Structure 1
Amino acid sequence: MIARIKFGCIALIALTLSSVVQARSMEEIDKSGRLIIGSYGNFRPFTYFEDGKFTGFEVDIGNEIAKRMNLTPEWKPMEFDSLLTGLSQDRWDMVTASFGITPERSKAVLFTEPHYCTGGIIATTKPDIKTAEDLNGKKVSVQTGSTYFLALQKIPGVQVRNMSSDNARNALLTGKVEAWVTDKFVALLMRQKEQDTKGAARPLYLGDLLFSERVATAVKKDNHELAERYNQALASMLKDGTYETISKKWFKEDVRCQ
């Protein structure tokens, strides 16, 4: 999901400077009774719409976190690359949208404890493409602003096609690119869907993980009390079995960070 925004120097400076604006304090959040959560609405199975309802693994996690904080979650699905900017402008209290923890992002936001671990994987319709070296000279689709995009910049010879999450997937399935780099759970779900579809035009093969990452919720740099309350709620979920139940509902396995 996900984990995913590439920060250039200008964006980092802008986000860092804007963080001096005071976020809603925990007292203000408690008084309002609402926890406003910025998210991305098109990253199945983590955060997406189905029959008009916002759902997914991270939505279930966020709803349970809010419940344990005695707050009502108020989700704000937006374009992925606007989420951290919106956080810096106090449009929401936190961002839950498969953001991988990176040193660059950590300069601009405060990350909570991670709520799952994953990695960027190679997905392809060609069984001979398996490794990073195999991507040399190939056209590869990837989501704009993602850690997958950053990983591809380090591989020589890759012809990167930067686009939305859906378009990156569809570019592979329609043969416009030779590989797609995405979250491993997204790819696993897509492969299962292809296997379950009779007459699927292109079988999906999964290659190597290019990297592993921890995914967490982001709050503003100065909002330590909110991060601590979040971490306490997450710890209680991990301890009492609620997290495992939610995880197995979506992935049939426990995806917590070990």
Structure 2
Amino acid sequence: MRAIHSFALALLLACGVSTAQARDWASIKQAGSIIVASEGAYAPFNYFQGSTLSGYEIDVMNAMAAKLGLKVEWRALGFDALIASIRQDRFDAAIASHGVTEERQKSVDFTNPHYCSGGQIVTKRGGPTKGAELANKVIGVQLATTYAEAAKKVTGAKEVKTFPKDTDAQQALLAGRVDAWVTDRFVAKAAVERNAGAGLVTGELLFVERVATVVRKGNGELRDQLNKALAEIKADGTLKKISEKYFKEDISCQN
């Protein structure tokens, strides 16, 4: 979704910067740990509790790693730097709500999806709740996201304002600086609940997407091992349990 800003640099310092390179499965298995990057600023999927990365995706990766007999060495940096960093071999994998797109698949590989979601309109009561109602409106989105791409395709939108973090776009809506905010539907749900007195309401989905872990292009054996682990935590109910912990429903893809 974005370049490394001061906040992202602080996250790097919090988790420690590593020059370790992305490795094949044999090297990871021999080391006994996998180096995984996330953002840490996208609750409830990935966020910091103190200096510890937490959230749905963090729990999912930790559970997958446990199935593979691995520990996770976590790193964090700005969302828009994650795919570039995977391509530069700085990490073994990244899990940070990356929607699977044809454009992204040109430069990295994806595992099977760990959840399905979509880009949802959020507005203040009385504001635009349908795509057609966004004409002549200012839309707030996070930079370099699939939500930003969807907003740019809205016919007749007055302006699409991009922000370094999704929470910045949310704050712009609360402050009345944008007419609508487009974000993940589960993030939208949590924001409406968390800001009960602000009069926020959710509208229609602009698109549906499948969200997956990112690995280096051509690192097929690691991708296959992660897929195997994901299938195992789905089969034994762990994935559903993690999902219900954060969302009170199963958000995994059903087909």
What is the TM-score normalised by the length of structure 1?
0.88
- Alignment-derived partner of residue 142 in structure 2: 143
The count of aligned residue pairs is: 235
Once residues 125 and 226 of structure 2 are traced to their aligned partners in structure 1, the CA distance between those partners, rounded to angstroms, is 43
SS at match of 1:76: strand
1:35-54 to structure 2, matched below 5 A, reads 35-54=34-53
In 1: Cα distance, 2:194 partner to 2:123 partner: 15
User: Which segments of 5 or more consecutive residues in structure 1 lack a partner in the other structure?
Assistant: 6-21
Q: Is the 8 A contact 1:23 1:223 kept in 2?
A: no
- Write out per-residue CA displacement over residues 182-207 of structure 1, whole angstroms, 9 at most, x where no aligned residue: 00000100111112xxxx3x210110
Matches within 5 A, 1:1-258: 4=1, 23-158=22-157, 159-163=159-163, 164-195=165-196, 200=197, 202-258=198-254
CA contact (8 A) 1:40 1:77 kept: yes
Cα distance between partner residues in 2 of 1:169 and 1:23: 34
What per-residue deviation string (whole Å, max 9, x for no partner) do you get for residues 152-206 of structure 1? 11112221010021211100011111110000000100111112xxxx3x21011
Indicate conservation of the 8 Å contact 1:23/1:222, yes or no. no
Q: Partner letter of residue 226 of structure 2?
A: Y
**Which one-letter code corresponds to 2:168 in the other structure?**
N
Return the alpha-carbon distance in structure 1 between the equivalents of residues 151 and 247 of structure 2: 26
- Provide the aligned C-alpha RMSD in A: 1.4
Cα distance in 2 for partners of 1:65, 1:223 equals 17
Distance in 2 between the 1:242 and 1:108 partners?
31
CA distance in 2, matches of 1:234, 1:127: 41
Alpha-carbon separation, structure 2, partners of 1:45 and 1:57: 6
Contact 2:46 2:57 in 1 (8 A): yes
Q: Structure 1 residue runs of 4+, over 6 Å off?
A: none
SS of the aligned residue for 1:116 comes to: strand
Question: % of aligned pairs identical?
Answer: 43
**Structure 2, unaligned stretches of length 5 or more?**
3-20
Corresponding residue SS for 1:113: strand
CA deviation after TM superposition for structure 1 residue 126, in Å: 3.4
